[in-house]
Chains A and B, each alone.
Chain A
């Protein structure tokens, strides 16, 4: 599977545009610290943010902030602050980063580019129930209101329609509460407009993911992982859909021009779990040295939001939340992963166990065994953490990756 006839260009032009979008978002939010021209909401990933955007909120994501802090190697300092306040080390480090930076700001400590101070909190529990507790503590420290949306797992025997309606009823409660909070009537026309923008963004995001089916892949997992940010944080804006249009055009052009972003690709790999933001460089360098290219991950599914509907925005946002990948059973995820291996022509899988993420970790053994048994693809489970580098053991994980490469080599002999 040597790629010697392909040109190597690691850098995507779209990276610059992504950087600009991210900076604009955070700088704009920080300006609000001064002007308070718009209310600021902190929101969990799977929440129906479209409702807040339609109410002209500036929406910030503590999870995205944690990922940034992890990548910049500043999260551990935030996590340490929480330990001083009695939080246990094994708790989710996204949560600890968020609470630590909050406590740091409130105590006047020097905190890395903190999010704009929130006026309101919105959380949905289909990722895990810990996240509701996390937001309760944010509410406690910031002394601001929060709303929690209860979103059941898609259990066997439960009607999907019933779960969508369950979420929808809570969205209506949220709208009513926000009308009281802002003193403004909810604007359904604006809601439709937001949902329309989000739908175009979501459709283009899906297309971006699908370009990775190409052999060889025009951009690796590491190249496109940051591009989930716009569809999460900015999908309500028309320029986000445009960003993905340009991104997709660039990826297609790379395919046409026979450009890849990594040399000597021997194997196409799957990544399961949230990335170890603290170890991106170590992982990408090690994998590249072994000829292993990370192609795709179910992680991208968490940011798909592809059920938005401008004609029925309430139904769309409720369905996004109710039917998200987070809400799916282990059985569903195992079968979905198997299908990804087929669609993206994958050779092996890396499962990223995260000590602080119980919900993401407990089913990993089953999923990796399932796909291994079905397809014979070798798998490895590495250990680490999303943002706290003190949990990451480079040597141990490198040995596991080396062993995976050896298994693939032996299999292909």
Chain B
């Protein structure tokens, strides 16, 4: 099991090496970079393209600052920095769903400054209901049509269904691994869990599935000592992979992270796409049934006749109860408007429920880990 986890870690440390190797193995292979979050990778896969998710890097941002304002979040500035440093030169295209204001405007600047042969922006209505569903399905059709003209190949319904099956299997196995983590705390560290999920977005999915299958087949034989730490869920709706050192620090200070809502975690594998029926409608269902996202507007909460005001908080609390966790660690990215707004409501809900929580602002490449350590230690003492 350790060997497989090490492999996942290697993929994360050299995030695009395998994609470059895959591309070079045969002529006319194409790799498209996806900006987090929620892009329907299955459709790219069905077009014979390798989708890789672009997570920026931990390096100091030395070039990206000159092209974007400094109120952009780290993920956006770092990704732009990586682009300017040539790290994405192997890509044939870039695709993204407009998940927030920053992605929306940064993407446009990206394509204008450094055009790629394929560039696709997709609008997912922020208010998702039956009135807006036709626009979403139209956007999915536009993606398919754009990809077909770029690759010169028809994307058949069968191909999409096949890709959905492969990605569903991937999600199923990640959920299973997370279930085991929840039931047997300590069997896999939070940073290993993040690497497991992150690496799936960097290499051919079939290869990743094979490794996951092997990992799951061996995990039952792994012995774990009784975990004396406090069980915690960790959330924060981050768009990038949280820092490995930070997760290790939290776990080494007496907290056992048993579940999360990261896009490199639970948010990614929570919901499957229906493999049957019309794939376009299946993807529309997927977006309408996703786990709560702080960028969405949930119509039913705001019509004046509901007590619910934060589906995100409710989801988080359910996660905590399911894992019988003692509290919640919240990672906050600087300049993330949707989460900063949601945090005010989330805090209300957590106080209503008397749930202990620790909120930490994080910015890769800056900030003192020792200060974080002190805060974690102080939090542990309160439990």
Contact = CB atoms under 8 A, between A and B. Distances in A.
B281 to A, nearest CB: 18
Contact of A86 (B71, B108, B343): B343
Contact of A88 (B125, B309, B340): B340
A85 B344 contact: yes
Interface in A166-214: 166, 169-170, 173
A17 B4 CA distance: 75
A358 B337 contact: yes
A148 B337 contact: no
Contact of B297 (A132, A145, A359): A132
Contacts of B109: 330, 362-363, 365-366
A153 B104 contact: yes
Nearest to B306: A145
A136 interface: yes
Given A139-B302, A358-B335, A362-B69, A148 B112 contact: no
Contacts of A364: 69
B192 to A, nearest CB: 32
B322 interface: no
B302 A130 contact: no
Nearest to A127: B101
A145 B306 CA distance: 10
Interface string A95-135: 00000000000000000000000000000010011101110
B379 interface: no
Contacts of A150: 125-127, 132, 135, 297
Contacts, number: 145
A92 B138 CA distance: 32
Contact of B112 (A146, A149, A153, A366): A366
A170 B105 contact: no
A358 B123 contact: no
A36 interface: no
A90 B72 CA distance: 11
A116 B106 CA distance: 38
A157 B146 contact: yes
A144 B304 contact: yes
Contacts of A166: 132, 134-135
A146 B335 CA distance: 26
Interface in B85-116: 98, 100-102, 104-106, 108-109, 112-113
B295 A129 contact: yes
Given A86-B344, A366-B112, A358 B101 contact: yes
A142 B297 CA distance: 18
B86 to A, nearest CB: 20
A136 B306 CA distance: 13
Contacts of B125: 150, 152
Contact of B113 (A158, A170, A366): A366
Contacts of A156: 121
A91 B297 contact: no
B345 interface: yes
Interface string A344-377: 0000000001011011011111100000000000
Contact of A362 (B66, B106, B126, B342): B106
A129 B337 CA distance: 9
A87 interface: yes
Nearest to B294: A133
A166 B304 CA distance: 24
B104 A91 contact: no
A353 B112 contact: no
B71 A355 contact: yes
B123 to A, nearest CB: 4
B341 interface: yes
Given A330-B112, A365-B67, A132 B126 contact: yes
Contacts of A144: 304
For B146, B301, B304, B342, the residue with the greatest tally of chain A CB atoms inside 10 Å of its CB is B304
A253 interface: no
Nearest to B335: A90
A331 B335 CA distance: 24
A384 B203 CA distance: 44
Interface of B: 66-69, 71-72, 98, 100-102, 104-106, 108-109, 112-113, 121, 123, 125-127, 131-132, 134-135, 138-139, 142, 146, 294-295, 297, 299, 301-305, 309, 334-335, 337-338, 340-345, 347
Given A90-B71, A169-B131, A365-B66, 19 more contacts: A88-B340, A129-B101, A129-B338, A130-B337, A136-B297, A140-B345, A146-B302, A148-B127, A148-B302, A152-B98, A153-B104, A158-B123, A158-B139, A162-B138, A330-B112, A358-B102, A361-B69, A363-B108, A366-B67
24 contacts: A86-B344, A87-B340, A91-B337, A130-B338, A132-B126, A133-B342, A136-B301, A136-B302, A137-B345, A144-B304, A145-B302, A146-B302, A146-B303, A146-B304, A148-B297, A152-B98, A170-B132, A330-B108, A358-B72, A362-B69, A363-B105, A364-B69, A365-B69, A366-B112
